């Protein structure tokens, strides 16, 4: 299930349950690529993403658990987990 969408021009990112991350490049949302194969295994297995921030190559996604932000600076080719220091689910990111 998709829970959040961010668009900028013809590009966009969407996130959802089970660590779902989708990326649209130059299609205005007409075609989406699944980025899940690039995510860490622990994300794909147990995270639900509730919000996404997208600006060109920079993608930030948050949700449950709220103890971390999922971050990519290369349009989803590689991902890092940035720790927040708090356990509550996050429902927004900017």
pLDDT of amino acid 12? 92
pLDDT at residue number 60:
95
Residue ranges of the chain with per-residue pLDDT less than 50: none
pLDDT of the residue at 53? 95
- pTM of the full predicted structure? 0.87
Task: Write down the pLDDT at residue 38.
Answer: 73
Contact 35, 43 (CB under 8 A): no
pLDDT for res 39: 78
């Amino acid at each position: 299930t998709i829970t959040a969408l961010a668009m900028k021009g013809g590009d966009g990112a969407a996130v959802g349950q089970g660590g779902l991350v989708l990326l649209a490049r130059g299609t205005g949302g007409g075609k989406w690529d699944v980025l899940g194969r690039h995510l860490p295994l622990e994300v794909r297995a147990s995270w639900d993403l509730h919000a996404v921030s997208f600006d060109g190559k920079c993608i930030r996604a948050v949700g449950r658990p709220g103890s971390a932000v999922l971050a990519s600076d290369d349009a989803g080719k590689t991902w890092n987990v940035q720790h927040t220091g708090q356990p509550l689910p996050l429902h927004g990111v900017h």
